[in-house]
Chain A
């Protein structure tokens, strides 16, 4: 049945032969699948040509359809829509496609449509779309705001979604789901004579739930589809940098810099090195530290992260390609994207917190087929050595994380309804059916739908008195539209903003652009304070019109922003492996664990090392404070919820305030009163009964929801970030997400976006599913309570890291304030 020897196939084989290449078996399989009109998911590691598996498939299809005229067919209309999350990637990708097309003498155009596309190009595309359009999810939604957008997609044959593993589980992924459902719907309803089949192809790196990833993507098609997998990934060699001396009292972030000298020889012996660091703030510190340790590297080392000026980032990427740099200090900003051929070594500083991320990063080195990837791991505190031991075990046993899928994101839906209301309007009944075709909104009820419509037409159930709120209006054809041109324009400007925090531009006083920075960070600074951005010491001179103006600073005590984004949480798989590693800590033959022996011996001597079927709780008295430290090894996020739950339930037993701290291994409740715990009480404290009610009642749920609300408010259009260059005019519309959350919570608790904030807290931030299974595990675990006389190696990093403290209390606010001598914070 396969047209193995179709004309298209032969031409492509000849083309590859001409390039001294042969097709990989998985590519051929993908081409066959595309030929027979199937949809599916291609899974292959970076650098294996998964792009070509889909792109060349589309070409083969075209040649086979026009075997004699394919070199003359101009203006075919859009054939291949290529959705990618990465703006930075599209240029290289487009270039590669154009080269191939030129070689094959196919007169296709390749177009790019992202936030960076010029107005001129946009106009051109509006007249005649290219055959291949590379687009980001946001820009695709922007196309839907065009009145006649249905016409654009009449000829569309393949929707390809690149880096689907990155999009899945994110709100941009939900945007893709909605877009696909819309395109499928347009395809069904369009009246064309010879209707072709519309295929959807995802391209994904390895994740634990590939099958589910495929199902989410193909959901609107109602077909099963196929998964086409490349053979197992290349070999990864993990080298651990073991400190000469093990600190028995590890402190987060304390150790790493001391080991900086150990990476200098690695950098020097390698061709080109990527140094991955978890937080943007630390990249600045490491960049400076490496330069101090090895001044000879000046000029050959650069820095790359999400808040550096775009030109500088592009320069760094270009220099990496051209082998001009010995090393780049970077964050997740270089996790993805095109391969840098000269890179042969990767250094990971601090725990990567997950197996998938570790593999991804390791894969950034050694690109030749069959080459081995080398990754060096440098711990930032000694216990991370145990994490790398766990990582190695997972690598050997092919254990990898799944990407959770999102359900019922009201904010993205609110945004989408406005999008379609601008792009010609929508019929409520038809659109509900279309939206229910997505995996994300398959369970959307008519009540929820009406609630959202009500919110967009009148501002919600609570708003009736003043009629001046109108976003959507019903037109005479029974379609919902946005008539107000100003609102429509605001919305268009807004679509791209799926961000978690308000960002401010940072500019030099003379006007040139330095980068962006989170608003909350700047709000903590005073005029004259110095901070570091993009490796430069700068002094804050003024904040005006959403721009931070700075000048060079000579100050030595600069503040380095500790970006929130860096607080990644340990994944479930790694946590579980870590419990195994710990449980066998004293007898392990692994080099990492051998090095840690003094630490574990001290832990055993002062308290105990828990087995993997035990839960350890340490109660340590320090003057008038009691530290209750619990070690579930479930990651920061789950600990956040678990600690709030425990504190809340304890405070029901006796009125008391707690201050809470946590890391990936455990959490601490600190209080001023003695608390006695027995294993029976502990089991009750971690019971799954009334879980949601109790979590909701903990002060934390509100605080966490307030944080989650930031992103929702931006996506849902509650926070308007302003017109470019016209920020002044929006001054009267600025309200912080915190304020909006406060007033909605107080005055309109049924608001759909507010409800979503709470829902997200349970699902995403508290990882409810994981929390439940962790609590169940505790119910069956043996509870070990110890009373060490001093801090143990396990407890020390948690107690020392007081940065992330939350609090919960059953006492009245006034009582709490009056309770102790009030002190001002200066």
Chain B
């Protein structure tokens, strides 16, 4: 893992990590989104063979960031699971309970459709719509926020799997996953590697950090 990138923001210290998550120093929170656990298994159950190594690699990366930052809590900004309870999900829970005591907070996303009891049994703290930890408000879908400028909160979301198209020398372009910080809201990249990208078209005022291999690069 490469050195995280310090991004001082709203008087807080946010460490952007190339493994597609943020460590929020003041709160001791590891923030990530869209892990889509169980997605490869769901595909396989439907006769589409995708390598489960993706899932294992996602877990490995998660373990890596947890052991580096030793967070007090983990905030998952929605879409922890892809669809339903399957063997991959069971495996994930077993892994979680055996490797870490850090509490998992889940801000419910559109893919998180299991019953409240299930999350309860799994030891995952479920937040039905949003979670406020000033100065940030965590909410899964960035389109469901009310851009109320009077409220002094800044939302952090996931859901769309943001990516950025970069034009580099000689008319070439590449697409990379990115962190997006707009005026009122931020959008996290999808943590899982089994996710596509939705291209953003940021304005000059927005801050965008692209993830290129193991580096965080601020786009100016």
Contacts and interface: CB of A to CB of B under 8 A. Distances in A.
Interface of A: 455, 459-460, 462-463, 465-466, 468-469, 471, 484, 487, 490-491, 625, 657-659, 670-672, 717-720, 732-733, 735-736, 738-740, 743-744, 746-748, 751, 802, 805, 807, 809, 812-814, 816-820, 822-826
A468 B41 CA distance: 7
B174 interface: yes
Contacts of A471: 47, 49
B50 A744 contact: yes
Nearest to A733: B46
A824 B167 contact: yes
B217 A743 contact: no
Nearest to B194: A743
Contact of A657 (B83, B169, B201): B169
Interface in B46-104: 46-54, 57, 82-83, 86-88, 91
A465 to B, nearest CB: 6
A718 B172 CA distance: 30
B219 interface: yes
B217 A825 contact: no
A620 to B, nearest CB: 14
Interface residues of B, number: 47
10 contacts: A459-B44, A468-B45, A469-B49, A657-B170, A717-B48, A732-B82, A733-B48, A739-B195, A813-B213, A823-B166
- Most chain-B CB neighbours within 10 Å: which of A459, A720, A748? A459
A471 B46 CA distance: 8
Contacts of A819: 168-169
A817 B212 contact: yes
A143 to B, nearest CB: 22
A625 B170 contact: yes
Contact of A820 (B53, B168, B196, B213): B168
Contacts of A822: 166-168, 217, 219-220
Contact of B196 (A484, A735, A814): A735
B50 A740 contact: yes
B202 interface: yes
A802 B45 CA distance: 44
Given A462-B53, A468-B44, A469-B49, A814 B173 contact: no
Contacts of B43: 733, 735
A736 B54 CA distance: 16
Nearest to B84: A732
The 3 A-B residue pairs whose C-beta atoms are closest, nearest first, are A659-B170, A459-B49, A469-B44
A28 B82 CA distance: 65
Contacts of A814: 212-213, 215, 217
Contacts of B48: 717-720, 733, 735
Contacts of A743: 50-51, 54, 193-194
Contacts of A484: 47
Contacts of A751: 49, 51
Given A466-B44, A807-B172, A825-B166, 18 more contacts: A455-B49, A487-B46, A490-B46, A657-B168, A657-B170, A659-B171, A659-B172, A670-B170, A671-B170, A718-B50, A736-B196, A747-B54, A809-B172, A813-B212, A822-B217, A822-B219, A824-B208, A824-B219
A628 B135 CA distance: 55
B51 A717 contact: no
Given A732-B82, A739-B195, A744-B51, A670 B210 contact: no
B16 to A, nearest CB: 15
A720 B50 CA distance: 13
Contacts of B52: 462-463, 465-466
Contact of A463 (B51, B167, B210, B215): B51
A816 B220 CA distance: 15
- Most chain-A CB neighbours within 10 Å: which of B46, B164, B194, B220? B46
Given A463-B51, A744-B51, A825-B173, A468 B167 contact: no
A736 B161 CA distance: 14
Given A738-B196, A743-B193, A824 B174 contact: no
B172 A805 contact: yes
B127 interface: no
A491 B169 CA distance: 45
Contacts of A746: 54, 193
A465 B87 CA distance: 10
A537 B185 CA distance: 36
Given A747-B57, A814-B213, A814-B215, A487 B47 contact: yes
A466 B219 CA distance: 41
A718 B215 CA distance: 32
B140 interface: no
B56 to A, nearest CB: 8
B108 interface: no
Nearest to B200: A824
B138 to A, nearest CB: 24
A824 B196 contact: no
A468 B90 CA distance: 13
Contacts of B165: 824-825
B42 interface: yes
B111 to A, nearest CB: 8
A213 to B, nearest CB: 35
B196 A720 contact: no
B164 A824 contact: yes
- Most chain-A CB neighbours within 10 Å: which of B51, B171, B193, B208? B51
A490 B47 contact: yes
A736 B199 CA distance: 14
Contacts of A744: 50-51
A499 B57 CA distance: 33
Contacts of A818: 217
Contacts of A747: 51, 53-54, 57
B166 to A, nearest CB: 6
Nearest to A467: B87
B49 to A, nearest CB: 4
B165 to A, nearest CB: 5
- Most chain-A CB neighbours within 10 Å: which of B54, B91, B170, B210? B170
- Most chain-B CB neighbours within 10 Å: which of A733, A736, A814? A733
B42 to A, nearest CB: 6
A466 B88 CA distance: 8
Interface string B140-178: 000000000000000000000000111111111110000
Given A813-B174, A820-B168, A825-B173, A732 B83 contact: yes
Interface string B181-220: 0000000000001111000011000001010110101011
A718 B41 CA distance: 14
A714 to B, nearest CB: 11
A755 to B, nearest CB: 14
Contacts of A739: 194-196
Contacts of B219: 822, 824
A691 B87 CA distance: 45
Contacts of A807: 170, 172
Contacts of A460: 49, 51
A463 B171 contact: no
Interface in B25-55: 41-54
A466 B170 contact: no
Nearest to A491: B47
Contacts of B170: 625, 657-659, 670-672, 807
A672 B49 contact: no
- Most chain-A CB neighbours within 10 Å: which of B53, B83, B174? B53
B167 A718 contact: no
B174 to A, nearest CB: 7
